[in-house]
Structure 1
Amino acid sequence: MEMLAPKGPSPIPEDASMKEENICQAFSDALLYKIEDIDDKDWNNPQLCSDYVKDIYQYLRQLEILQFINPHHPILVDWLVQIHSKLRLLQETLYVCIPVSQRKLQLVWITALLLASKYEEMFSPNIEGFVYITDNAYTKLKFELGGPLPLHFLRQASKARKQQCYTGYTQNEVLEVMQHVAKNVLKVNENLTKFIAIKNKYASNKFLKISMIPQLNSKAIKDLAFPLMGGS
């Protein structure tokens, strides 16, 4: 009976004189060849940068740690979503705007305080005092508007069957985020919050009324949100 050669690279290097790093690469290829390359079909679209996409997402993961953003102010975010919808801006514009507003918010507040003091105070504090109070934040602010956006990871992950192979996130990390998402969905559906701009936005025909689908009121959503809604 004729033996058929296995598809994909062989896990055993044929040349015994291969260097150690080449042997490691050979074993790595053998382990990964069964994993579908979700970017392989994008080679003819230069905007998707299929040759560099893995390096790009690795860099975005590094930025995610360096550019950590504190929890957003719900009033500000709700208002920004309304303005974004009225102006019909791109999705990316909103996602860039929110972290920028959080990073620059301290500067806006301290500048407003400086202007108000010049208007009302007889002896206004000098600008060096404000710089000191903000831990020299003025000198640290740069034009670094780029960063990892949820849209970047969602678009990539939506093409992958095995998410962890491409996103690098573990199941527990994804679960923690999904619980917070489910909690917010549940609070909106049960009228436990007044911040409903996002629901209204995605209730339009443009977004296929995705925020109105019955699945968002399902038991699965309630079970996900339960630990964060006072459950045990």
Structure 2
Amino acid sequence: MAGPTLRIDENAINNNIRLTRSKSNINNININENINETINGTRTALTNISLNNQLSLPNQQKIIIPRQSHYKRDPLNNNNSHNINIINNKAKSPEKSTRLSIKRRYEEFNLNNNMNIDENFNNEKSNENYNINNNNNSNNYNDHINNNNNNNNFLNGTTINMNNENNNFFLNNKKPKITYNWDDLDLDDFDDPLMVNEYVVDIFNYLTVLEQQTLPDANYLIWQSNLKPRMRSIIVDWLVEVHLRFRLLPETLFIGINLMDRFLSKEIIEVDKFQLLAISSLFISAKYQEICSPSIKNFSYVTDGGFSEEDILNAEKVVLAVLEFNMSYPNPLEFLRRISKADNYDVQTRTLGKYLLEISVIDYKFIGLCPSLCAAGAMYISRKILKRGEWNGNLIHYSGGYKEKDLRKVCEMIVEYLISPIVHEEFFKKYSSKKYMRASVLARQWAKKITMQERDIME
């Protein structure tokens, strides 16, 4: 029996194919029309944007709130107010501005505003809005500029003045002409990765700029009504004893004293909190510099029960908040080691130089002097004591360009300290040991000898 037969209707199939093709053609026509409408709408929108850009370019005053970095708030004073500067935005030509992207124009706009802000700080008319306190500190980087002659708000004034001085440093302090001969001693270290031969010059150029920003107020002991120079001498001598007992690195002591001086340049404290500030500064410095920092229990113990661990931790928070966690202090020992390269790394000269350099952080008269200048003066006197020869071109170059005439003042201050009665006993005992080659005894004998003979220390 035969199965069912499959019949195919060719006419029906042809009709379906024609209907499908017609539908696809209609869809293509609709898609093309939608695309054309979209393109025309985009062109119209772009034309409107271009016209709006051209219409918004003429001069107009805009209120610009400066960036937060221009202002520093006192964590202990919540009444600080931020000023608003009104800056005239210079118009650009429509042809040029339309070619620039929005991001590019925004960057240029911010750059112009920042330049105008810096210019307003240097303008005599804008300076009428600020009252400069403490006229004796007019040449210092930490002058206090306030709106209402308020000496408690140190952070705002210091920030503004530092920005001005930092700008003037780059604009006015051009490299002087080199009038001496020196050898490139860094070439000998090209195969030593630890000496970073490729970057050492840039590093010390940066440290030279940075030391200007981390200088404490040279006259803060004058306006600190509760503190006297004698009090600072006692506290610093005690810090030397604690530093020696804990066997900390030399850099730790320098950083700790710098933190204390910078805090005192911004805040007024009571006498009974002075020791707490000192031990807290050394505690912060130890955590920042040491590989294995002593426990906070040890720092509390050396205060003889005067302050608890909680007191030190709370003081640490306050110090870091006032200094805004700025620990970037160019250590004077770094400059001393740099100069020692030109001295063939002589151990005796550098050991004696360390003692003389430490005087610059112990004695209050050296507050406000650049670490690089103190390091150069310490190395100069050290070579004079040991009769190592003249201050040649290599020593001038690797000290940062300090010539003998630039070192006279700081050298006279060091000699004046050496011939005066011993004030810092622990400091003197530290460097009178064999470990430090009896540097304190040798230096004092030399200073008294040239003073009795009335000799010029620069001869």
TM-score (norm 1): 0.60
Pick closer, same or farther for the CA change 1:215–1:184 going to 2, 3 Å.
same
CA separation in 2, counterparts of 1:154 and 1:139?
A: 31
Q: For residues 453 and 213 of structure 2, what CA distance do their matches in structure 1 show? A: 33
Say if 1:208 and 1:139 are closer, same or farther in 2 by CA, change over 3 A: closer
Give the gaps of 5 or more residues in structure 2. Answer: 1-177, 219-228, 274-318, 343-391
Q: Which residues in structure 2 correspond to 1:103-122 (within 5 Å)?
A: 103-105=262-264, 107=267, 109=269
Q: How many residues align?
A: 169
Tell me, yes or no, if the aligned pair for 1:182 and 1:222 is still in contact at 8 Å: no
CA distance in 2, matches of 1:61, 1:224: 33
Please, which of 211, 214, 217 is the counterpart of residue 440 of structure 2?
Answer: 211
1:24-63 aligned at under 5 Å gives the runs 35-63=182-210
The CA deviation string for residues 5-27 of structure 1, in whole angstroms up to 9 with x for no partner, is xxxxxxxxxxxxxxxxxxxxxxx
SS, match of residue 94 in structure 1: helix
Cα shift at 1:193: 4.1
1:216, distance to aligned residue in structure 2 (A): 4.2
CA contact (8 A) 2:214 2:328 kept: no
Structure 1 position 179 matched with structure 2 position 412: yes
Change (3 A) 1:138 1:216: closer
Question: 1:165 aligned to 2:325?
Answer: no
Deviations 1:75-127 (A, max 9, x none): 222111111111111111111111011112455837x6xxxxxxxxxxxxxxx
Match in the other structure for 1:68: 215
Question: Over alpha carbons, which structure has the higher Rg?
Answer: 2
> 1:74 & 1:36 partners in 2: Cα distance?
41
Pairing 1:101-140 to 2, within 5 Å after superposition: 101-105=260-264, 107=267, 109=269
**Structure 2 partner of 1:14:** none
> CA RMSD, aligned part only?
3.4
- Specify the SS of the correspondent of 1:109: coil
Q: Which runs of 5+ in 1 are unaligned?
A: 1-30, 113-136, 227-232
Q: Quick one: percent identity of the two aligned structures?
A: 29
Instruction: After TM superposition, give the deviation of residue 222 of structure 1 in Å.
Output: 7.7
1:99 aligns with 2:258: yes
**Matched residue SS, 2:269:** helix
Once structures 1 and 2 are overlaid, which stretch shifts more, 151-160 or 161-170? 161-170
Give the aligned residue type for 2:416.
Answer: K
Which residue is equivalent to 1:132? none
1:146 to 305, 323, 328: 328
* Cα 1:42/1:138, change in 2 over 3 Å: closer
Q: Aligned letter for 1:175?
A: R
Q: Give secondary structure in 2 for the equivalent of 1:218.
A: helix
Aligned residue for 2:424?
Answer: 195
Q: How far did residue 178 of structure 1 move?
A: 1.0
Normalising by structure 2, we get a TM-score of: 0.33
Describe the SS at the equivalent of 1:51: coil
